[in-house]
A and B are shown apart, each in its own frame.
Chain A
Amino acid sequence: MSEHHSTYVPSTGIERWLDARLPIVRLMHDSAVSYPVPRNLNYFWTFGGILMFVLIAQIVTGIVLVMHYTPHTSMAFDSIEGIMRDVNWGWLMRYMHANGASMFFVAVYIHIARGLYYGSYKAPREVLWILGVIIFLVMMATAFMGYVLPWGQMSFWGATVITNLFSAFPVIGEPIVTWLWGGYSVDNPTLNRFFSLHYLLPFVLLGIVVLHVWALHHVGQNNPTGVEVKDYAKDTVPFTPFATVKDLYAMVCFMIFFAWFVFYQPNFLGHADNYIPADPLKTPAHIVPEWYFLPFYGILRAIPDKLGGVLAMFASIGVLAFLPWLDTSKVKSGAYRPIFKICFWVLIIVTILLGYTGSQPTDKPVLTLGDRTVLDMVGFAQILTVIYFAYFLVALPLLGLFEKTKPVPASIADSVLGAK
């Protein structure tokens, strides 16, 4: 978007003085006021702003929680209950933070699905996309470590299961796990380092988000047609007031959804076992990760070999980073790609089903003939895992070569106003 020049005009003496020395007001004006956005964006494009809001909300509520939280195995659980009982508005801070993590993932999954459907990962947005994949990974690490902090049964056993995964690597596995734990089991040193990192990572996240937005403002937004901006005057509108008011409206609607859980169902998305203080001698009947990790947990358990499972799980996220080069189609937007569209929805459904398998016992029958189990949960997850990877590694590369796409509008303006 190099042709788009700054339209900022300092209006007072002070602004002119500052602009010559540190053009920070100009930067803000150019990125939040005059920044041109395609005029045909739909509401799926509001989730970036929503994610920004959730990140800030997590940081603010998190900082308040830290003021009252004690990172010690013998006190962590009670200190959080202290926040719930004795800190003014502590219950609100804690429930906002715990549910905010879920909201973060709701928003990020919609945001990622938007990118997949409209081909937002393609040139010139590869770096923007990869930064997004990194944000997703850091978010997952942050949420995982945050969940350990209340030191309930699921905190402890979740941490034990997940850190133990690294022991699958030959030779270096065991030393890595000992190093992660800071000892020979999940214990106080583990809790302390997770706390330290849980405080650090959101700020790292903020830094990567700045890069993500920088890249975005450099290349401009994609849009539902996938056709790049050709004429600023016809194809775009200034960010303020057009996108500002639309984003704010969407954000407030999202807040209503968020508030529903915080005020009325604050424990719906959590797990009752995490209200039982951690007990290293008592394994819960079922160790289930938070809902937002379930599809990946499903893939992990689909592979009978531990190392294979771990690699498949990391690959299922890592493969996203290669999308710009795996998708060979010249047409960006899924709206003009009939077969791609079907594959996309299959991927969404398969991912949800993988989440289902991740939440169930592995030997639970899925398909039975008489009293013979034809397909159990692991078998089902294996089929789904194959389809999941086939989308990225088979469908996307081949579709670009064979798919007959529908005609793409000549410009964004044409798609809104009709071709003249």
Chain B
Amino acid sequence: MKMISRSLIAALALAGAAMSPALAASGHTDNPPAQKWSFSGPFGTFDRAQLQRGFKVYKEVCAACHSMKLLSFRNLSEPGGPGFTEGQVKTLAAEYKVKDGPNESGDMFERPGRPADRFPAPFANDEAAKAANNGAVPPDFSVIAKARTYSRGFPMWLFDIFTQYQEQGPDYITAILIGYEEAPKGVTVEPGLNYNKYFPGNKIAMANPLIALFDDNGKAQDPGFYTDGTPVTREQVARDVSAFLMWAAEPHMEARKQTGAKVMIWLTILAMLLYFSKKKIWARLEGGH
């Protein structure tokens, strides 16, 4: 039996690599460094201030190219999110122009946004997006934090079941934002592409978007960009917008984990009661089992 269980473990170990689909895809792409997230683990919650900062980065930098069409302004004030007040959301929505109509005379018209409106997309369609971005379409942000991952490799992915590590998405996005570098010697980067050590294949069509906030030495153009006193550094900004995107992809994550804790406690108690009932009932038999 021992031999069997040992060989079974060996087989499981080999099969382990099975669950790392991106493994082969990544040529010499570095693995994103693991960040600390307030929302990791069974009791994790989003850091409201971080989500608000991340939203500011999205709104002032990324939104120029990336849509987020499954989210509405109202989501920003819903429980488990950035925690803006309804008043703030109303004011924010009104800053946007939203196409509506047709009116009684059959014309489309523009009006100020309302909390129930979806975030307007920066481009009318994919073709327009392509034309403005050297032929690449900036992906929609609604679920991007769940749509990107990297290979954990064996045996890490097995441990992940127990540690509940599932922040590959935000780790990857953070890495992309700080992963722009000079291309190593011998690597030619075609015009319109940029070298990034964390992007699969290393050549990404998006130019470093944080250029907008930092000068060449990585110093903040506007040290007062954050109004809550958080230092404006490349890493901080990258983490903040990644956390925001995680919330955008999984707006009910807090409710999910909190419900999970209740369900787990309830099921464990039920299991214990059933275990003792089972013991008691089977004890009636000679020889039990």
Within 8 Å of chain B (Cβ to Cβ): is A255?
yes
Q: In the docked arrangement, what's the CA distance between A91 and B260, Å?
A: 12
Interface flags, A345-383, vs B, CB<8A=1, else 0: 100110011011011110010000000000000000000
Within 8 Å of chain B (Cβ to Cβ): is A8?
no
- Asked if residues A256 and B259 are in contact (CB atoms below 8 Å), the reply is no
- Asked if residues A360 and B17 are in contact (CB atoms below 8 Å), the reply is yes
- For the complex of A and B, 4 pairs with smallest distance between CB atoms: A263-B260, A275-B147, A359-B18, A249-B274
Within 8 Å of chain B (Cβ to Cβ): is A130?
no
Within 8 Å of chain B (Cβ to Cβ): is A272?
yes
With a cutoff of 8 Å between Cβ atoms, the chain B residues found around residue A352 in the complex are: 11-12, 14-15
- Asked if residues B14 and A353 are in contact (CB atoms below 8 Å), the reply is yes
Q: In the complex where A252-B271, A416-B289 touch, is A286 in contact with B25 (Cβ < 8 A)?
A: yes
- Asked if residues B282 and A349 are in contact (CB atoms below 8 Å), the reply is no
- Asked if residues B263 and A263 are in contact (CB atoms below 8 Å), the reply is yes
Within 8 Å of chain B (Cβ to Cβ): is A228?
no
Stretch at the interface among B202-210, B217-225, B226-234, B249-257: B249-257
What is the distance, in angstroms, from A181's C-beta to the closest C-beta of chain B? 25
Q: In the complex where A92-B259, A249-B275, A291-B18 touch, is A268 in contact with B7 (Cβ < 8 A)?
A: no
Number of A-B contacts (CB under 8 A): 140
Residues of A within 8 A of B (CB): 39-41, 78, 81-82, 84-85, 91-92, 95, 237, 241-242, 245-246, 248-249, 252-253, 255-256, 259-260, 262-268, 271-273, 275-276, 285-286, 288, 291, 294, 345, 348-349, 352-353, 355-356, 358-361, 364, 416-417
- Asked if residues B267 and A259 are in contact (CB atoms below 8 Å), the reply is yes
What is the distance, in angstroms, from B209's C-beta to the closest C-beta of chain A? 20
Within 8 Å of chain A (Cβ to Cβ): is B156?
no
Q: Which residue of A lies closest to B277 (CB)?
A: A245
- Residue from A39, A91, A276, A288 within 8 A of B289 (CB atoms): A39
Q: Name the interface residues of B137-188: CB closer than 8 Å to any CB of A.
A: 139, 142-143, 146-149, 160-161, 164, 166, 168-169
- Asked if residues A252 and B267 are in contact (CB atoms below 8 Å), the reply is yes
Q: In the complex where A78-B70, A81-B143, A264-B42 touch, is A272 in contact with B260 (Cβ < 8 A)?
A: no
Q: In the docked arrangement, what's the CA distance between A162 and B175, Å?
A: 35
With a cutoff of 8 Å between Cβ atoms, the chain A residues found around residue B101 in the complex are: none
Interface flags, B7-37, vs A, CB<8A=1, else 0: 1101110111111111111000000000000
Residues of B within 8 A of A (CB): 4, 7-8, 10-12, 14-25, 42, 70, 75, 139, 142-143, 146-149, 160-161, 164, 166, 168-169, 200, 249, 251-252, 255-257, 259-260, 263-264, 267-268, 270-271, 274-275, 277-278, 281-282, 285-287, 289
- Asked if residues A249 and B15 are in contact (CB atoms below 8 Å), the reply is no
Q: In the docked arrangement, what's the CA distance between A40 and B282, Å?
A: 11
Q: In the docked arrangement, what's the CA distance between A260 and B264, Å?
A: 8
> Given known contacts A245-B277, A268-B160, what 16 new A-B pairs fall within 8 Å (CB)?
A81-B142, A245-B281, A263-B259, A264-B166, A264-B260, A265-B160, A265-B161, A265-B164, A285-B22, A285-B25, A286-B21, A352-B14, A355-B18, A359-B20, A416-B289, A417-B286
15 A-B contact pairs sorted by A residue (CB < 8 Å): A39-B289, A245-B278, A245-B281, A249-B271, A252-B274, A263-B260, A265-B160, A265-B161, A268-B166, A271-B21, A285-B22, A352-B11, A356-B15, A360-B24, A364-B24
What is the distance, in angstroms, from A85's C-beta to the closest C-beta of chain B? 6
- Asked if residues A272 and B263 are in contact (CB atoms below 8 Å), the reply is no
Q: Which residue of B lies closest to A294 (CB)?
A: B18
Of B22, B160, B166, B278, the most chain A CB neighbours within 10 A belong to: B278
Q: In the docked arrangement, what's the CA distance between A40 and B289, Å?
A: 7
With a cutoff of 8 Å between Cβ atoms, the chain A residues found around residue B75 in the complex are: 85
With a cutoff of 8 Å between Cβ atoms, the chain A residues found around residue B263 in the complex are: 259, 263
Q: In the docked arrangement, what's the CA distance between A348 and B9, Å?
A: 11
- Asked if residues B146 and A416 are in contact (CB atoms below 8 Å), the reply is no
With a cutoff of 8 Å between Cβ atoms, the chain A residues found around residue B275 in the complex are: 249
- Asked if residues B277 and A272 are in contact (CB atoms below 8 Å), the reply is no
With a cutoff of 8 Å between Cβ atoms, the chain B residues found around residue A40 in the complex are: 289
